[in-house]
Amino acid sequence: MKQEEVLPIEETIGATAIAPPLPPRRSISVFRKRVRKFKTLKRGYYSFLIVAVSYAFSFILPILINNEALLLRYNGQYYFPISTFYPASEFGMDAIGEPNYRELKEQLAARNSGDWVLMPMHPYSATESLLDLPGTPPHAPSNEHPLGTDDRGRDVLARLAYGFNVSLTFAIIVLLLAESVGVFVGALLGYFGGKLDMLGQRFIEIWSSLPFLYTIIIISSIVVPIYIPGRNLVLQPSFWLLIVILAVFEWVGITYYVRGEFYREKARDYVGAAIAMGQSDTKIMFKHILPNSLTPVISFAPFTIVANIGALVALDFLGFGLPAPTPSWGELIGQGMENLTKWWLVFFPLAALFLTLLLIVFIGEAVREAFDPKEYSRLR
């Protein structure tokens, strides 16, 4: 049996000493850990991708769902009606205003002169009343109108698609405005405390007791909406007015959570160190404490979006929301309640609303689980 060679202790120490050091471990921030956790929650993560992609596509709807031609060739020249207005006389049509590009496409195809019209995938607008269809509206689903038309002859698919953009844009803008005000007020109350906190809490209690629906009704009866014709999606003054009113009432909720977070965080050692270094209150509040106090803000954001969409749909359903002919899910649901025998006016708007809110709730559940402070504590 061969005896193993034993190295002297000096050589062993030398060999150990020249061994390459281990690479330093990179520290991962708590926020990145939470994002990684969110990606592992497949239901919420895939729901986020579906909503994000759908919302991104909703901004290019004019090239997908519209009654204006994308590109037109007439007498050897090219025109871009999607971005430029052309009168009907420009193309030899006896009509006033903008031509009917679907009719022009049929005329040019019948001439066989080499001229053509390139229309969107679904060549109907969300605000166009199709009065030339046989029968009286609302019309049942067909090949040209897969989801049918409403009681004014407008294509339901176009109104649902543009209504998705309007609803989600409304909810996100209200969320940003309301949470910005709520975070700012909550930060002031939680950081300074004392008399400011006591007076601020009393003001919030009085403000939150104001009736939201009655305020909407009063303002809607005073303000006259302005409609700008010739656009498929119009953000009218009433759109921004509803945003301001809803944000004015919604900022109260997040204030309590941010105030509590600031009360807890301002007792930490890092805040005392920042004060000892002579940093200003503003810098301590918004550079040091606020990043560590955003967990409730982020966790409640998806559920706030759900509440905002529900509020807009409810106001449109009651007739105090966006003015006609702005595409609105609530207005379509109201038509369905008035025409219960027209199943497409009941099923499709409610299905679109249900699927959208369901996906956002899935996102909210995943965000809440990923940002759970018990999962990744600040003290770890």
Which domains, and CATH codes, for the chain? 67-118 (no CATH), 156-370 (1.10.3720.10)
Look at residue 23 and tell me whether its pLDDT is greater than 70.
Answer: no
| Cα separation values, 87 from 1, 117, 181, Å | 104, 15, 47
Q: What confidence score (pLDDT) does residue 27 get?
A: 67
Lookup result for tokens 């519209």:
66
Residues 164, 54: contact at Cβ < 8 Å? yes
What is the residue-wise DSSP string for 338-378? H-TT-HHHHHHHHHHHHHHHHHHHHHHHHHHHHT-TTTS-T
210: confidence class by pLDDT, cuts 50, 70, 90: confident
**For the chain, what is the mean pLDDT?**
86
Residues 123, 157: contact at Cβ < 8 Å? no
| Cα separation values, 289 from 132, 187, 190, 282, Å | 63, 9, 11, 10
Task: Report how far residue 169's alpha carbon sits from residue 61's, in angstroms, rounded to the nearest whole number.
Answer: 14
3: confidence class by pLDDT, cuts 50, 70, 90: low
Q: Per-residue pLDDT averaged across 117-124, rounded?
A: 94
* pLDDT tens-digit readout, 267-290: 889 999 999 999 999 999 999 999
Give the range with max mean pLDDT: 14-18, 21-25, 196-200: 196-200
Residues 124, 145: contact at Cβ < 8 Å? yes
320: confidence class by pLDDT, cuts 50, 70, 90: confident
Look at residue 69 and tell me whether its pLDDT is greater than 80.
Answer: yes
Q: What confidence score (pLDDT) does residue 113 get?
A: 82
* pLDDT tens-digit readout, 178-193: 999 999 999 999 999 9
Q: What confidence score (pLDDT) does residue 116 get?
A: 93
How many CB atoms neighbour CB 59 within 10 A?
Answer: 10
Alpha helix (H) residue ranges in 284-325? 295-318
How many CB atoms neighbour CB 127 within 10 A?
Answer: 23
Q: Per-residue pLDDT averaged across 70-74, rounded?
A: 92
Task: Report how far residue 261's alpha carbon sits from residue 289's, in angstroms, rounded to the nearest whole number.
Answer: 9
